[in-house]
């Protein structure tokens, strides 16, 4: 029996399976992938589920092929995605750039592992924080979400598709091996309780300029076969989609594709706070590491230290204004991440020197023990 797209009910699911189910619930009907640990269960779930819901799942020859097929499918009108890990994400970067420039909605799940290079294929890492923002060539803005539980993998998959469709930009779900392979309770709501956003479409029968944006800086998007006979290029282009290789055209398009995200940062940014009301030391963390950070804050509070937690649910765009305001009130930030310092630079930038910023690093292969973060909180108190 083919199951429906939305598996309403209470499940015991891994993050990798939940992110696949969330995507299907969001309307994703095209998956192209290439096997890579620790993300392969996402692919396997799609292989099983796509035929059930009338969608497509294809195994491509490599990650460049996967993401290229995803972008092609998106231009054929389907919601499309792929999943990978760090090495595959590196190979996809040229298409991240192409998707940004051509404003092609797509979702990329990156189940991070220990890196660089082949690194630790079966063990966790959070080393792609900067790659998610700066991995491709050019000036661009992008959206990256970071779940810290299987439930959030489901919920954030829906949000990633909604944001990608709304802003016509790739949305990345930055998971990690712990979250991908962790099994927990996942509640899938009834279909009519799931909010779905679809890309704007041009009106049929009317003249269509594929890159003429509305007031919200986002142009409507036709699909191939709709009859508009449009042209899409990765070259700098004008509103008609035709190449315009001038500095003026370039300035216009880069400004718009960045500003459509920058000006909406406050609508996209999402975070969770814990014991922040009177906190003097704030731990900033995300993904699997944030689960240790919760415990570390509890331990600090037991010792009478006024610690709090800011858990980032969106990493890009970065909540710079918020962290800047916090910096005026608190003594220090402790940034707990599973790499040798990436997000910490962003926190330093946004703190403007008004609060100390301390890195709590684990290189990968494991997440922090709460005591390790606690040590850094103690260091911050001194």
Partner 1 sequence: MSRAKVVEQHLFDKYLRVDRLPHIWCPGCGIGILLSCFIKAIDTLQLDLDKLVVVSGIGCAGRIAGYIKVDSFHTLHGRAIPFAVGLKLANPSLNVVVISGDGDIFSIGGNHFIHAARRNNDIMVICVNNFIYGMTGGQYGPTTPYQARTSTSPYGNVEHAFNLPHVAASCGAVYVARWTVLHTRRLTESIIEALQKKGFRFIEVLSPCPTVYGRRNNMPRGLDMMKFFMKNCEIRNFEDTKNIAIEPGEKIIIGKFVDIEKKAFEDAYYELIRSVRGY
Instruction: Give the nearest distance from C-beta 211 to partner 1 in angstroms.
Output: 13
The residue among 221 and 282 lying less far from partner 1, judged by its C-beta, is 221
Instruction: Give the nearest distance from C-beta 95 to partner 1 in angstroms.
Output: 7
At 273, list the tokens.
Answer: 């706070």
Question: What is the spatial distance between Cα 354 and Cα 374, in angstroms, rounded to a whole number?
Answer: 22
Planar angle of CA 363, 368, 371, nearest 5 degrees: 135
The residue among 230 and 294 lying less far from partner 1, judged by its C-beta, is 230
Indicate which single residue of 118, 187, 201, 224 sits in contact with partner 1 (rule: CB under 8 A): 224
The residue among 124 and 241 lying less far from partner 1, judged by its C-beta, is 241
Indicate which single residue of 19, 32, 169, 175 sits in contact with partner 1 (rule: CB under 8 A): 32
Q: Write out the H or E segment, with its range, that includes residue 14.
A: strand 9-14
Indicate which single residue of 6, 13, 21, 30 sits in contact with partner 1 (rule: CB under 8 A): 30
Instruction: Give the nearest distance from C-beta 7 to partner 1 in angstroms.
Output: 16
Indicate which single residue of 137, 138, 227, 248 sits in contact with partner 1 (rule: CB under 8 A): 227
Instruction: Give the nearest distance from C-beta 30 to partner 1 in angstroms.
Output: 5
The residue among 69 and 362 lying less far from partner 1, judged by its C-beta, is 69
Instruction: Give the nearest distance from C-beta 379 to partner 1 in angstroms.
Output: 47
Size of the site for partner 1 (CB under 8 A): 47
Instruction: Give the nearest distance from C-beta 64 to partner 1 in angstroms.
Output: 6
Question: What is the spatial distance between Cα 208 and Cα 229, in angstroms, rounded to a whole number?
Answer: 9
Q: Which CA distances in Å does 140 have to 69, 87, 217, 250, 313? A: 22, 21, 14, 12, 20
| C-alpha 117, offset from chain centre | 21
Question: What is the spatial distance between Cα 5 and Cα 178, in angstroms, rounded to a whole number?
Answer: 26
Question: What is the spatial distance between Cα 147 and Cα 249, in angstroms, rounded to a whole number?
Answer: 38
The residue among 189 and 220 lying less far from partner 1, judged by its C-beta, is 220
Q: What is the DSSP string of 37-79?
A: TTTHHHHHHHHHHTGGGT-EEEE-SSHHHHHHHHHHHHHTT-E
Binding segment for partner 1 among 10-18, 123-131, 228-236, 321-329 (CB under 8 A)? 228-236
Instruction: Give the nearest distance from C-beta 21 to partner 1 in angstroms.
Output: 17
The residue among 1 and 10 lying less far from partner 1, judged by its C-beta, is 1
> Rounded to the nearest 5°, which phi and psi values hold at 112?
-70, 145
Indicate which single residue of 7, 223, 299, 320 sits in contact with partner 1 (rule: CB under 8 A): 223
Rounded to a whole number, what is the distance in angstroms from the first to the last CA of the chain?
Answer: 62
Using the rule CB under 8 A, is 235 a contact of partner 1?
yes
Using the rule CB under 8 A, is 197 a contact of partner 1?
no
- Pick from 161, 59, 167, 66: nearest CA to 106: 161
Instruction: Give the nearest distance from C-beta 77 to partner 1 in angstroms.
Output: 7
Using the rule CB under 8 A, is 257 a contact of partner 1?
no
Binding segment for partner 1 among 14-22, 25-33, 312-320, 358-366 (CB under 8 A)? 25-33
Indicate which single residue of 18, 108, 136, 232 sits in contact with partner 1 (rule: CB under 8 A): 232
The residue among 71 and 374 lying less far from partner 1, judged by its C-beta, is 71
The residue among 76 and 196 lying less far from partner 1, judged by its C-beta, is 76
Question: What is the spatial distance between Cα 187 and Cα 22, in angstroms, rounded to a whole number?
Answer: 11
136: Cβ contacts below 8 Å, ≥ 6 apart: 93, 94, 96, 97, 100
Instruction: Give the nearest distance from C-beta 78 to partner 1 in angstroms.
Output: 5
**Alpha-carbon dihedral 346, 349, 354, 358, rounded to 10 degrees:** 40
Question: Restricting to residues 40-99, which ones interact with partner 1 according to CB under 8 A?
Answer: 51-52, 54, 56, 58, 60-62, 64-66, 68-78, 80, 94-95, 98
**Alpha-carbon dihedral 264, 95, 19, 42, rounded to 10 degrees:** 180
Question: What is the spatial distance between Cα 159 and Cα 287, in angstroms, rounded to a whole number?
Answer: 16
Which residues make up the interface to partner 1 (CB under 8 A)? 1-2, 29-30, 32, 51-52, 54, 56, 58, 60-62, 64-66, 68-78, 80, 94-95, 98, 222-235, 242-243
């Amino acid at each position: 029996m083919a199951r429906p797209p939305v598996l309403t009910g209470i499940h015991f699911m891994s993050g990798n399976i939940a992110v696949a189910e969330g995507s299907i619930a969001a309307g994703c009907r095209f998956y192209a992938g290439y096997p890579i640990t620790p993300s392969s269960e996402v692919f396997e779930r799609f292989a099983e589920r796509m035929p059930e819901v009338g969608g497509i799942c294809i195994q491509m020859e490599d990650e460049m092929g996967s993401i290229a097929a995803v972008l092609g499918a998106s231009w054929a009108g389907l919601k499309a995605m792929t999943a990978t890990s760090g090495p595959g994400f590196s190979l996809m970067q040229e298409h991240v750039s192409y998707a940004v420039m051509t404003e092609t909605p797509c979702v990329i799940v990156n189940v991070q592992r220990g890196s660089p290079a082949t690194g630790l294929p079966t063990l966790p890492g959070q080393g792609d924080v900067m790659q998610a923002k700066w991995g491709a060539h050019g000036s661009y803005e992008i959206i990256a979400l970071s779940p810290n539980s299987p439930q959030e993998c489901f919920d954030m998959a829906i949000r990633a598709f909604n944001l990608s469709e709304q802003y016509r930009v790739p949305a990345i779900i930055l998971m990690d091996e712990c979250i991908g392979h962790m099994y927990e309770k996942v509640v899938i709501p009834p279909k009519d309780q799931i909010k779905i956003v679809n890309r704007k479409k041009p009106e049929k029968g009317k003249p269509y300029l594929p890159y003429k944006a509305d007031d919200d800086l986002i142009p409507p998007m036709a699909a191939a076969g709709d009859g508009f006979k449009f042209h899409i290029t990765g070259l700098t282009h004008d509103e008609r989609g035709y190449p315009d290789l001038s500095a003026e055209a370039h300035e216009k398009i880069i400004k718009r594709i960045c500003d459509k995200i920058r000006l909406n940062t406050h609508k996209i940014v999402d975070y969770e706070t814990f014991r922040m009301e009177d906190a003097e030391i704030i731990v900033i963390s995300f993904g699997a590491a944030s689960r240790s950070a919760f415990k570390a804050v509890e331990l600090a509070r037991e010792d009478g230290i006024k610690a709090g937690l800011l858990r980032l649910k969106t990493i890009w765009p970065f909540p710079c204004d918020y962290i800047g305001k916090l910096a005026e009130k608190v003594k220090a930030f402790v940034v707990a991440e599973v790499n040798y310092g990436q997000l910490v630079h962003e926190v330093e930038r946004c703190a403007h020197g008004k609060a100390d910023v301390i890195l709590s690093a684990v290189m990968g292969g494991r997440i922090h023990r709460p005591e390790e973060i606690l040590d850094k909180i103690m260091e911050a108190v001194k």
